[in-house]
Amino acid sequence: MHLFDVARRFYGGYAIVGGGLPIAVGLALADTLQDRRRVTVCFFGDGAVAEGEFHEAMNLAALWRLPVLFICENNLYAMGTALSRHQSQPDIARKAAAYAVSSTAVDGMDVLAVETATRHAAELVRGGSDPYLLEARTYRFRAHSMYDPELYRSKAEVEEWKERDPIVTLAARLADSGALPVDQRARLEAAVAAEVEAAVAFAEAGAWEPIEDLTRDLYAPGGAAAPR
């Protein structure tokens, strides 16, 4: 969350639930007005579907025929609220029909199925400049946060879902097919672990932001002066 990189066309994660949806519509509108053949992909959880931004964004994207690929990562719980307790229609993919938007659902625990469904959806959006809703039905193994006691689900439910862990099952499929032998996977995992450790060490060794920069980027040039 709170990451942003314009050079990579990554426009951030947002603390406000559903906050990225209208921004995605705005980015797609800008691309359309400037005749840029791009697809704006917007990720959000099932909890965001209960927010007004979801419906407003879907409606405008459909009305203006904007190239937005809406991807809902439905992990069955909006923080600690089960899907059936916050959605009168728990089949999220079906909600797109209210806005004349095409949609589909995919097994979010199957990496290859998600890749295939996403590629197909992106091709449709890019080819027709119409929005599309893809619902990836998945599951969250860990608590929502370190302060989440997880009283809304049982440990048995979590363990049952872990049997379909997408990383474990993909690794097994790759090993069985010979695409990723066990020794090669071990080297890959060691390289990833080393990269993560180096990144953490770099961050922890970094200098604190100077106090002089406290109000930097808060005001437009020539705008209101910083408060004293």
Predicted structure pTM score: 0.86
In the chain, the percentage of residues whose pLDDT exceeds 90 is 83
Q: In terms of domains, do 38 and 128 share one?
A: yes
Q: In terms of domains, do 12 and 56 share one?
A: yes
Q: In terms of domains, do 94 and 64 share one?
A: yes
Q: In terms of domains, do 128 and 196 share one?
A: no
Q: In terms of domains, do 107 and 178 share one?
A: no
Q: What is the pLDDT of residue 225?
A: 55
Residue 25 domain-assigned (yes or no) = yes
Residues of the domain holding 174: 165-206
Q: In terms of domains, do 79 and 109 share one?
A: yes
Within a 10 A sphere around the Cβ of 95, how many other Cβ atoms? 20
Residue 155 domain-assigned (yes or no) = no
Give just the sign of the alpha carbon dihedral 122, 128, 131, 133.
Answer: negative
Q: What is the pLDDT of residue 143?
A: 93
Residue 219 domain-assigned (yes or no) = no
129 pLDDT band (50/70/90 cuts)?
confident
The tokens for 9 are 């066309």
Cβ-count burial of 50 within 10 angstroms (0-12 exposed, 13-18 middle, 19+ buried)? Answer: middle
Lowest-pLDDT range of 141-150, 195-204, 219-228: 219-228
Instruction: Please state, in angstroms and rounded to a whole number, the distance separating the CA atoms of residues 13 and 111.
Output: 22
Q: In terms of domains, do 35 and 96 share one?
A: yes
Please say whether the beta carbons of 117 and 134 come within 8 A: yes
**How many structural domains compose the chain?**
2
Q: What is the pLDDT of residue 223?
A: 58
Q: What is the pLDDT of residues 44-55, one digit of tens each?
A: 999 999 999 999
The enclosing domain of 135 has a CATH number of 3.40.50.970
